[in-house]
Structure 1
């Protein structure tokens, strides 16, 4: 009996030693008002790591559960604008009252730390060492694991379901939006932290005047002087494969540089490394982006890694150099040249649905694509506390050409396309402090030119061009030019909690379009309906005023823009001897408000009214042969569209628990004066025209997502979902129909370090798309994909990887696609390099069967894939 009693006492003693203590209470200010959002932290003493924490609710109440053997605990309570409260308490359950006193210094930040994450105000700092796994080599491998961060297939980075606006390395914007180059090549071993800069205002002089709801990323390096980069050399078989890559980097306080040369025929799409993800602040409607007036018929590309399907021979050279001229002033050069030759081989079955019939088109396609592209930017930027200056000179030139061959049951068709392009732009932004206000000036001026030719053999649309008789060839020629300028001046002034930013400006854009069609032997089609001599002049005088509000506690942020514009449009066509004019005075209010509900929660609401007017791409009178079976023209008034956009969202983030959640809803409604009519022939030829008829478009969109890092399991879980409903009017073969669409998408991923010898990565995507006329659905498709990669580590310096992929759709009878990959990697410590052997597509799956649908048609395609192949690479990281 004594033994039993002793055992019970021992057990109770053990449980008592690890008992849970409940510390609760209420936080007040110096006027005995409840403080919501106060940070409560419990530690063993004032310098030890945090044992538990909590946040006071709307009534100022908090409750924290602590497990500790210590007899005493240290309680710390902090709140913005108040002195931090600190006190030792007994390790017993108790209720406390905490009164905070105003701080003699305005406290702008609350610092919360853990071993893997530090929060300082609006900056979250993730420890790279805490997230780095055995097979992580570059910083992109780390970013994929961070909760709240999502990297899309094209490499664009999103934070809380919104694209980031800046990617800094040690606070410097070297790459001007082309951050894939650093993301995919900067060694993770050279990085100490990844900082998320929430609500980041990139212009210092505006930091206290205009708030920003977007986030940026800053990469913190371990050393003041960092020399890093990668070098890769590889060879393989089936067929003869090669891969070379050299990307040296240097980062100092006054100079940064990333230079790269890459070449391969293994299917690696290196063009993604120079893709520009910049978010434009000004002149978004005036740019030097290339317009593809003409195209050859393509095969739908598979929705997975290009290394499975891209048949390429690519060379890329890029130099990105930043020199700090003096304090806060940087001179940047970003230049790249891409040369690529690609082959596409596949087949397509397209089914068109009209209100009265279905039309099928079957095509086997073989394309040769030649890409030659030169891009460059020279930027001088002075981002100081009281002044801002940025001038960016941009050049964009391409000399691309395509060849295509289509085999149809009734014909064999050749296509040749040449589409060179040239664009030059200068963008200037100046903000200077004068007295108590900030004077602003902006100027955006550019020029583009493009001459495109499409040759189709034999000629198409026989009933239109040759009285129904076959003929040898048809050639479409397009020449387009654009010159524009947009200039404004204004000021920004703080009035208490408000900031006003009135701005006056004007813009002019002149576009010219000349098109001609030639038949066999160079015979020009002289019919007025098949020529364009169009000049389109747009001008605008505007007054834009923005009002920003931010309270001292930064719990409310409000922005109201009230732009007034007088727009004038003049369209002249020398060929048709016709002129169209349109003058409009428009008001486009834009409202955004964000409320910080607590330390964890925030909500936002926005509303916007926007007007859209036709661009020259939807204004030409004469028919244009856009593709071998597509004739388009817009012989109608200048299009006018009124758009209403409303949205609301709720975000939750708990950095210490590495938990991020977001949900949003948006509603869009637009009214237009033009309706587009598609006449689909029995052989799939389509004639698109614009018809003057009022119509509307309506769309509901629901989005939600979350991510969580499980520290003990070293696992990151991410899940995102979206649902969209839309309806619009459409004229199909002269019959008016309402087209309804519904889509749902669910995607998720898990990155887990299961044990010291096993790492697993899994991702999945499931989507449905339904479309129909009026109240009936004519087509629904479900697609899904699953990818799993397992890494086995028999030793720390080597691993064996096994990967499997599945892609399927509900439309195709044989729409199931399976892939298996095998790899082995050995890491040499001296010199530091990886030897990688990979066997891709072990099952030798030779074609990918894909299916997708649109509002009134669906496409089922088969794309020829790269064969099973073995590749050996040596990769050096330095």
Structure 2
């Protein structure tokens, strides 16, 4: 090893730079360069050598003596001891050697970095209150968990959740994160830039991370279990669950039974966290065609207003059939009964009038959901094959009585969906050949009933009638099939995909009037009997060039679309040929900074016309008697990211701009509480710009994480209301912080604050109008005290501030207190929780949508005392 030292000029911050070469005088890239304080071995700075072998370290340190250490696979580890002088330049020659992959270990192995894998020691981030693994994941540097359970790393959703390297649950990984005991886990591994398909490693880059759960020795190869029994008083409530888990070499499973009527929504546990485009395009995501008019969801914690009776049973199995193939089976059944009691005052601000609608709602929603899936998968360096069969059946009905107007609403909204998703990829020489086939069948039969009848003038010559019913059914068959070819030569990758898509739908609806026990179809334009077809032939070609932290990709999507819509024997037909280019440029300046910019154009055509009116809800008739809807758009996204794993700092700045132009404009006419909407052929531009910045910092020595985010969004859209053309401009400002810290071994504190301000204005009126905006603030504080003899206290406090228009702002305060005693053998928790200590019985909220301001009042759960016994084995 040869060391050359050169003096340099003084700068404001100490900088050490240099170059790395090997014995053959060839530059050495991607080497780990770590600077330590010699006396304490604390890490001062960290870098990775670039494509020219250069590195640079900027730092502040009062230490007199430093140690520079360089490591890389295939070379001996090199170390140099330095005086703390500014502007030093160090050139090293590394000697070849056979060694293991280099590790970077940070502070008692709390964080360990090996290549693109970051391993978090669970014990270093957990406390005595953590029971399931998601409690620990929430505290990891750079990671966030949304309210629905989706996990984000560096502000991007993860693409896989593995347990011991196996993907048991696909996109429903909340079943694992909410039920796997925290003390069964040794490490949480974060796999950066993870490519889920092994054959595409080094060919198709990913900017998403994955999580892999590593169990400790005593938890492997044996059955694990956890659960609790809970009983609450005044009123009588219960919360019970039992989960059995096993993760062995040839089999993995998670089986769970849960029931509660204490306000906990179990549906989040079986929600898919990542959706494929085909899932929406095919109609496989339930989207109701008719609905009840209900009050919007309040911003308070759902358990405070959710009057439910929720049961959930899930079973998920993975069998290792061989070294290549895995077979996965999953099933879930959920049943819920939800009661609500709300009041809403809706103000609609029109060019020459203001409409006020008062509605008091008393409702009951009953639904059941059955989900099953069967998947065969092989994912190796030689072959990729995945065939998944999914079935979904939903039974649903909801009733609502509007006390202020004596209107009864009832809707039945079942749903049936069957999907088969096949993908295969094989390697032929240096080329990859793949096929994919996605096929879906869906059936959405629904019925809306309203008593007494509405729209007398339009539907029954001004004469009142007893009941109005909308019967509607949408059936669809969708298939998307493609073949792909990929070739990589050096730093260049070329891929091409040819495909054909077909979508067939039938829509039937009828509006029925009931008077004096006699049913008849409404006279006029209220009956549809339509057949729709869409054929799309497409070709997607993409080129990618990658070298030394620089990646450039460009693509062209060409498609020919054939659509028709109408009654049998009288269909109208349209066609469209589109060319949509896209590009993405990514540059990694060093191990910490990266910047990217991407852009794309889009052209879509849809022919979903329904000439006859549909009763969408009890006060809205909607018609889309239009030709094909054509939308052209442009989108550009810029992102600047900073990631320092050693110092646990993550930050991102994003700018996103989109501009779209449609040939269809919605015209809305208000007549008291009744609304009629029509789609008209008219130019309709709309655009949106969004800015976002966030920073996350974890202080390992203080056991403290800090998160700050700022967002701004501005959009413009156009509507025709009461015959006046209005250009709406909306502005949304969001700011938030979150702090999680430990004070010694006895106290843990979590604090969060979220502020949102919405403002909307209207132009193209007689004069510009600023509509009433809203301000909302949510602040939470959790203090956990860990006392001697395995006692704990948890105090949770929440503040909600809400203001709408010129009204006086309102504050609502909530508090919950838990006392807990733990036993270690057997593992038992005995707890008492007093929720809603201040016994807040109602919540008043403002929300806005353009020129509509809604003031809602919700009935909340009263003060409750809950006794629980939790167990693990």
| TM band (smaller chain) | over 0.9
Separation in structure 2 between the aligned mates of residue 509 and residue 357 of structure 1, nearest angstrom: 44
Post-superposition Cα deviations, 1:19-70, rounded to whole Å, max 9, x if no partner, equal xx97834225469999898643245899x9654333379974435566669x
TM-superposed deviation, 1:335: 0.8
| Counterpart mapping for 1:314-329 below 5 A | 314-329=310-325
Specify which of 424, 427, 444 is matched with residue 450 of structure 1: 444
Separation in structure 1 between the aligned mates of residue 38 and residue 320 of structure 2, nearest angstrom: 44
Separation in structure 2 between the aligned mates of residue 701 and residue 171 of structure 1, nearest angstrom: 37
Cα distance, 1:708–1:44 mapped onto 2, change above 3 Å:
closer
Specify which of 424, 428, 435 is matched with residue 434 of structure 1: 428
- Secondary structure at 2:309's aligned position in 1? strand
Cα distance, 1:109–1:610 mapped onto 2, change above 3 Å:
farther
TM-superposed deviation, 1:814: 6.6
Out of 374-383 and 582-591, give the one that drifted further.
582-591
Matched residue, 1:757: 746
Specify which of 390, 393, 400 is matched with residue 394 of structure 1: 390
Matched residue, 1:532: 528
Matched residue, 1:612: 604
Q: Does the Cα contact within 8 Å between 1:783 and 1:807 map onto a contact in 2?
A: yes
Separation in structure 2 between the aligned mates of residue 87 and residue 711 of structure 1, nearest angstrom: 25
Separation in structure 1 between the aligned mates of residue 48 and residue 509 of structure 2, nearest angstrom: 68
CA-atom RMSD in angstroms? 2.5
- Secondary structure at 2:414's aligned position in 1? strand
Cα distance, 1:541–1:528 mapped onto 2, change above 3 Å:
farther
Specify which of 135, 152, 160 is matched with residue 158 of structure 1: 152
Q: Does the Cα contact within 8 Å between 1:39 and 1:53 map onto a contact in 2?
A: no
TM-superposed deviation, 1:87: 3.1
Pairing 1:865–2:860 present: yes
Cα distance, 1:251–1:271 mapped onto 2, change above 3 Å:
same
TM-score (norm 2): 0.92
Out of 793-802 and 589-598, give the one that drifted further.
793-802
Q: Does the Cα contact within 8 Å between 1:74 and 1:86 map onto a contact in 2?
A: no
| Counterpart mapping for 1:27-42 below 5 A | 27-29=19-21, 39-42=32-35
TM-superposed deviation, 1:590: 2.2
Q: Does the Cα contact within 8 Å between 2:320 and 2:327 map onto a contact in 1?
A: yes
Separation in structure 2 between the aligned mates of residue 150 and residue 297 of structure 1, nearest angstrom: 34
Matched residue, 1:804: 797
| Counterpart mapping for 1:368-447 below 5 A | 368-408=364-404, 411-447=405-441
Out of 197-206 and 117-126, give the one that drifted further.
117-126
Post-superposition Cα deviations, 1:523-544, rounded to whole Å, max 9, x if no partner, equal 3225351000011100011111
Matched residue, 2:587: 595
TM-superposed deviation, 1:719: 1.4
Specify which of 844, 848, 867 is matched with residue 849 of structure 1: 844
TM-score (norm 1): 0.92
Q: Does the Cα contact within 8 Å between 1:287 and 1:425 map onto a contact in 2?
A: no
Out of 282-291 and 382-391, give the one that drifted further.
282-291
Matched residue, 2:68: 75
Post-superposition Cα deviations, 1:453-492, rounded to whole Å, max 9, x if no partner, equal 1110000111111222221110100011000111111211
TM-superposed deviation, 1:749: 1.1
Separation in structure 1 between the aligned mates of residue 96 and residue 541 of structure 2, nearest angstrom: 36
TM-superposed deviation, 1:272: 0.9
Tell me the matched-pair count.
Answer: 845
- Secondary structure at 2:262's aligned position in 1? coil
Specify which of 602, 623, 626 is matched with residue 633 of structure 1: 623
Separation in structure 2 between the aligned mates of residue 733 and residue 106 of structure 1, nearest angstrom: 76
TM-superposed deviation, 1:501: 1.4
Post-superposition Cα deviations, 1:59-117, rounded to whole Å, max 9, x if no partner, equal 74435566669xx86532247x8846513436665845223459689999774644311
TM-superposed deviation, 1:608: 1.0
Post-superposition Cα deviations, 1:304-346, rounded to whole Å, max 9, x if no partner, equal 3222111111111000101111113210011100011110111
Pairing 1:793–2:789 present: no
Cα distance, 1:489–1:234 mapped onto 2, change above 3 Å:
same
Post-superposition Cα deviations, 1:526-583, rounded to whole Å, max 9, x if no partner, equal 53510000111000111111222222x3x02233221111011111125xx8533210
Cα distance, 1:290–1:51 mapped onto 2, change above 3 Å:
closer
Separation in structure 2 between the aligned mates of residue 721 and residue 475 of structure 1, nearest angstrom: 47
Matched residue, 2:3: none
Cα distance, 1:262–1:56 mapped onto 2, change above 3 Å:
closer
Post-superposition Cα deviations, 1:183-212, rounded to whole Å, max 9, x if no partner, equal 111111111111121111100001121111
TM-superposed deviation, 1:594: 1.5
TM-superposed deviation, 1:615: 5.8
Separation in structure 1 between the aligned mates of residue 156 and residue 518 of structure 2, nearest angstrom: 52
TM-superposed deviation, 1:421: 1.2
Q: Which runs of 5+ in 2 are unaligned?
A: 1-12
- Secondary structure at 2:267's aligned position in 1? helix
Pairing 1:499–2:493 present: yes
Separation in structure 2 between the aligned mates of residue 837 and residue 351 of structure 1, nearest angstrom: 44
Q: Which runs of 5+ in 1 are unaligned?
A: 1-20
| Counterpart mapping for 1:227-626 below 5 A | 227-280=223-276, 285-408=281-404, 411-520=405-514, 521-525=517-521, 527-551=523-547, 553=548, 555-574=549-568, 579-614=571-606, 616=608, 619-626=609-616
Specify which of 824, 827, 832 is matched with residue 822 of structure 2: 827
Cα distance, 1:347–1:84 mapped onto 2, change above 3 Å:
farther
